[in-house]
């Protein structure tokens, strides 16, 4: 075998090896932490560079032995060799101009295309980084790892899978594929990847592809499809042959078609993404940047993927609306717009490659952001850039939309980047003063990774300085805390003695409260007795008052009767006077009659007898009248005395009655006071009971405090011990911070040796 043929056979494997090493290096570079970066990344870059140098070496040897070598190709190889040499020396901004079709003949077409592929790979590694503000979406490599994990669970660690990738030129799908393959290779070597096939993202292509794959690999268990659009076509085929083949689909994107096939059992796992938040956040970040000069912590703001299975799909799918449902965690990932300070109208643009399936959710996120930002005088226009799946998401449809928005004065643009050729258009927009955010997908770029590392080094330098300062302040704070804790411990020990004394005082207080309660109870019983007696006395006085009132009324009536009788006796005296006068006159008449009878002689003897009788009668009448007068006078004297005494008695009765009323009022007041005293005493008893209860609670609490203090003393001792350890760790942290600062400075010096920006060529 000739040397040229040998070189030709080695060329293709070396090229594929270099390509795989480059992708592998890029993936590793994007996931290792900073403390591991510099040495590992430089080694990876060196390995990748050497692999490409080997490709060029054998390629040049091959064409050296080829009779139809072309000067143009030799020139291009020299350019590639020079570029790789510069790349190895640290010039990450190097690039080589690609071939033009007119530059090579038909007989050199294969070689030219091979060189073009090499140029494309070199230029993609060293391409100008995107100047977009930030990216919002899932980490594609992480999605692939999650797929690998769940494939392993579904197959119980053993089985066979096929992978249908959309296109090898779409980096996010390549990363999904790599994440899955690497996870299975590292953790589940018994799961065999039978092959990786390109499905072009076209359903008709996949529909024709699946039957041949099933015939070629009839025992395949799962088919991993890196997109969420074409599985519908694959499921149509599998549904017809499911009795013959056991293969099922693992895919991405939660939408109605995939959910329907999940319920049929044709799809086993769907890795979902928060497509609504992707575009919503992209627009809100633009608004925040314009309004408040917002800057992201990281240029890649990754959202959390979700795993949808037949068991949990209702968490992510609304059956009634047949629509994607977001979880609380997914809602928590939504960005928050800042307060609007200016009232200047803003216009933002959202470019979507389609409005079907997952892209319908992207559109929904844009509409949600439009409604949210409308209150802040911000208008959002959503532009669908779709002209067929053969150029889906490519620069031919995205670039004109970006250019138009820049020309029309949009203040910010959000777009997806499936095609690396879109990046220069994004950079032009940013250079024109229009900030851009990206979502769902964007290419990986080594220069951007190194630039991010440089940015991180600056941040690390600042943070290390702050960390060192904080460590010193922490050390001083720990010293102060130790001193304070020592005082607290001393105070707690002193407090424990006071708690013990307080417990004794509380016990005495409880005894005193018990004695007071007994006294109050006896006093309450006495008050009840007094109240009853006063009520009885009040009843007796009431009855006495009633009798006195009756007596007063009787005496008043007697007094009135005696007064009337006295008046009648006065009238009798008048009558007696009349009778007395009549007796005197009768006596005079009798004397005259006797005289006349004596004069008459014998004839007047009878008349003389009568006159004598009349005279005697007049004398008796006079005597009787005298007796009556005396009796009446005596009666009048007696009645006057009675009237006088009656008047006196009436006054005394009135006074007694008045005093009785006053006594009744006093008894009533006493009774009321006793009742009030009873209520107050009851209140006092309740207060004393509460005091007693509170005293018991305080006693229990003091016991708890005592126990708690013991625990605190123990805890403080542990804290003191921990603080001592923290002091040691703080000193170690301070040393680490200084070391990080030195490391950051050293890495900064190392990165300074790399050329990350193109050299400006002076114009002739």
- The CA distance from 521 to 127, in Å, is 99
Task: Give Rg (Cα) of the chain.
Answer: 62
User: 3-state SS string over 240-275?
Assistant: HHCCCCCCEEEEECCCHHHHHHHHHCCEEEEEECCH
Q: Under 8 Å CB-to-CB from 421, ≥6 apart: which residues?
A: 394, 395, 399
pLDDT > 50? residue 574: yes
CATH number corresponding to 135-444: 3.40.50.2300
| Token representation of residue 688 | 């004393």
Residue 26 pLDDT greater than 60, yes or no: no
- Answer whether 716's CB lies under 8 Å from 489's CB: yes
pLDDT category at 3 given cuts 50, 70, 90 is: very low
Q: Is the pLDDT at 29 greater than 60, yes or no?
A: no
**What interhelical angle do 605-752 and 446-600 show, nearest 10?**
170
3-31 and 37-64 helices cross at what angle (nearest 10)?
160
- CA 641, 642, 647, 648 torsion-angle sign: positive
| Least confident among 8-17, 332-341, 348-357, 617-626 | 8-17
Does the CA dihedral 607-609-613-616 come out positive or negative? Answer: positive
For the domain covering 450-751, report its CATH number. 1.10.287.950
Tokens of 337: 């717009």
CA gap 217, 161 in Å, rounded: 9
> How much is the pLDDT for 433?
94
The mean pLDDT value for 108-114 works out to 57
One DSSP character per residue, 481-511 reads HHHHHHHHHHHHHHHHHHHHHHHHHHHHHHH
Q: Tell me which of 251 and 505 has the higher pLDDT.
A: 251
CB-based burial label for 327 (10 Å; 0-12, 13-18, 19+): middle
- SS3 annotation, 556-590: HHHHHHHHHHHHHHHHHHHHHHHHHHHHHHHHHHH
Other CB atoms closer than 10 Å to residue 216's CB: what's the count? 11
Evaluate if residue 337 carries a pLDDT over 90.
yes
Bridge partners of residue 308, in order along the sequence? 270
Give the alpha-carbon dihedral of 620, 625, 627, 633, to 10 degrees.
-170
Per-residue pLDDT for 268 more than 90? yes
**Phi and psi angles of residue 351, each rounded to the nearest 5 degrees, phi first:** -105, 120
Q: How far apart are CA 549 and CA 657, in angstroms?
A: 7
- Average pLDDT value over all residues in the chain: 74
How far is Cα 728 from Cα 505, in angstroms, rounded to an integer?
Answer: 46
Lowest-pLDDT choice from 378-387, 476-485, 613-622: 476-485
Does the structure show a pLDDT above 80 at 371?
A: yes
Go through the chain and tell me how many residues it has. 764
| DSSP-derived secondary structure for 224-243 | EESSSSTHHHHHHHHHHHTT
Most confident segment among 427-441, 478-492, 669-683: 427-441
| pLDDT given for residue 5 in this prediction | 43
Mean pLDDT, residues 648-660 taken together:
67
User: What is the rounded distance in angstroms from the CA atom of residue 733 to the CA atom of residue 253?
Assistant: 45
Over the stretch 13-23, which tens digit does the pLDDT of each residue have?
Answer: 555 565 555 55
Q: Which of 413-427, 458-472, 478-492, 604-618 has the highest mean pLDDT?
A: 413-427
Strand-by-strand arrangement of the 135-137 sheet: 300-302, 135-137, 436-439, 412-416, 346-352, 378-384
Token readout for 509 is 């207080």
Give this prediction's pTM.
0.55
Return d(Cα 374, Cα 364) in angstroms, integer: 15
Handedness of CA 679, 685, 688, 693 (dihedral sign): negative
User: In the chain, where are the structural domains located?
Assistant: 3-125, 135-444, 450-751
For 439, the enclosing helix (H) or strand (E) is strand 436-439
Residues 6+ apart with CB under 8 A from 65: 2, 3, 4, 7
* Helix/strand/coil for 351: strand
Measured between alpha carbons, how far is residue 142 from residues 235, 278, 296 in Å? 25, 17, 21
Q: Which two tokens stand for residue 599?
A: 């004069």
Residue 347: φ, ψ to 5°? -130, 120
Residues contacting 443, CB < 8 A, separation 6+: 124, 171, 417, 420, 423
Q: Are 489 and 643 in contact (CB under 8 A)?
A: no
- Determine contact, residues 397/332, Cβ cutoff 8 Å: no
Within 10 angstroms of residue 675's Cβ, the number of other Cβ atoms is: 12
């Amino acid at each position: 075998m000739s040397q040229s043929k040998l070189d030709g056979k080695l060329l293709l494997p070396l090229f594929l090896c270099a390509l795989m090493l480059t992708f592998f290096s890029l993936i590793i570079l994007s996931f290792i932490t900073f403390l591991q970066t510099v040495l590992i990344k430089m080694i990876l870059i060196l390995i990748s560079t050497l692999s490409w140098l080997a490709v060029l070496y054998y390629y040049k040897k091959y064409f050296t032995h080829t009779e139809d070598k072309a000067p143009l190709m030799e020139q291009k190889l020299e350019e590639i060799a020079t570029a790789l040499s510069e790349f190895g020396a640290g010039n990450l901004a190097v690039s080589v101009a690609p071939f033009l079709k007119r530059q090579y003949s038909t007989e050199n077409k294969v070689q030219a295309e091979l060189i073009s592929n090499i140029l494309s790979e070199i230029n993609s590694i060293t391409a100008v980084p995107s100047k977009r503000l930030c990216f919002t979406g899932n980490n594609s490599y992480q999605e692939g790892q999650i797929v690998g994990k769940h494939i392993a669970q579904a197959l119980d660690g053993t089985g066979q899978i096929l992978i249908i990738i959309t296109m090898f030129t779409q980096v996010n799908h390549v990363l999904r594929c790599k994440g899955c393959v690497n996870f299975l290779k590292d953790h589940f070597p018994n799961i065999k990847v039978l092959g990786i096939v390109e499905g072009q993202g076209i359903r008709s292509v996949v529909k024709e592809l699946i039957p041949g794959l099933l015939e070629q690999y009839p025992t395949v268990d799962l088919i991993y499809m890196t997109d969420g659009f074409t599985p519908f076509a694959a499921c149509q085929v599998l549904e017809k042959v499911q009795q013959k083949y056991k293969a099922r689909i693992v895919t991405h994107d939660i939408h109605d078609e995939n959910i329907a096939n999940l319920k049929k059992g044709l799809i086993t796992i769907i890795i979902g993404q928060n497509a609504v938040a992707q575009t919503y956040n992209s627009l809100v970040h633009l608004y925040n940047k314009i309004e408040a000069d917002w800057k992201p912590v990281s240029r890649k703001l990754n959202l959390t993927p979700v795993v949808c299975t037949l068991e949990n799909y209702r968490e992510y799918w609304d059956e009634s609306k047949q629509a994607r449902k977001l979880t609380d965690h997914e809602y928590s990932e939504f960005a928050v717009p800042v307060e609007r300070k200016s009232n200047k109208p803003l216009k933002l643009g959202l470019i979507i490659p389609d409005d079907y399936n997952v892209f319908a959710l992207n559109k929904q996120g844009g509409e949600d952001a439009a409604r949210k930002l409308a209150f802040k005088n911000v208008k959002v226009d959503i532009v669908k850039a779709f002209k067929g799946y053969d150029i889906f998401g490519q620069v031919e449809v995205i670039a004109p939309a970006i250019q138009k928005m820049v020309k029309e004065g949009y203040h910010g643009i959000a777009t997806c980047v499936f095609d690396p050729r879109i990046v220069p258009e994004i950079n032009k927009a940013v250079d024109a003063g229009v900030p851009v955010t990206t979502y769902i997908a964007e290419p990986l770029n080594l220069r951007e990774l190194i630039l991010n590392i440089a940015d991180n080094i600056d941040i690390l330098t600042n943070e290390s300085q702050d960390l060192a300062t904080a460590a010193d302040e922490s050390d001083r704070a720990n010293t102060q805390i130790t001193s304070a804790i020592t005082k607290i411990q001393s105070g707690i020990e002193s407090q424990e003695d006071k708690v013990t004394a307080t417990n004794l005082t509380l016990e005495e207080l409880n005894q005193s409260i018990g004695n007071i309660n007994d006294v109050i109870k006896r006093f309450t019983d006495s008050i009840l007795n007094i109240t009853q007696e006063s009520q009885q006395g009040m009843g007796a006085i009431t009855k006495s008052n009633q009798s006195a009132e009756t007596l007063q009324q009787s005496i008043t009536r007697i007094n009135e009767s005696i007064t009337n009788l006295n008046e009648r006796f006065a009238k009798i005296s008048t009558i007696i006077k009349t009778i007395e006068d009549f007796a005197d006159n009768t006596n005079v008449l009798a004397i005259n009659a006797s005289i006349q009878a004596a004069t008459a002689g014998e004839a007047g003897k009878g008349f003389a007898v009568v006159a004598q009788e009349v005279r005697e009668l007049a004398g008796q009448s006079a005597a009787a009248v005298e007796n009556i007068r005396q009796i009446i006078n005596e009666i009048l004297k007696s009645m006057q005395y009675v009237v006088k005494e009656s008047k006196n008695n009436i006054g005394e009765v009135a006074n007694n009655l008045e005093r009785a009323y006053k006594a009744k009022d006093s008894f009533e007041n006493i009774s009321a006071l006793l009742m009030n005293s009873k209520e107050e005493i009851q209140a006092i008893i309740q207060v004393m009971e509460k005091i007693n209860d509170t005293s018991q609670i305080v006693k229990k609490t003091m016991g708890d405090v005592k126990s708690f203090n013991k625990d605190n003393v123990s805890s403080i001792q542990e804290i003191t011990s921990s603080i001592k350890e923290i002091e040691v760790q703080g000193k170690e942290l301070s040393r680490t911070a200084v070391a990080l600062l030195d490391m950051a400075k050293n890495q900064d010096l190392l990165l300074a040796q790399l050329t990350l920006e193109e050299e400006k060529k002076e114009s002739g």
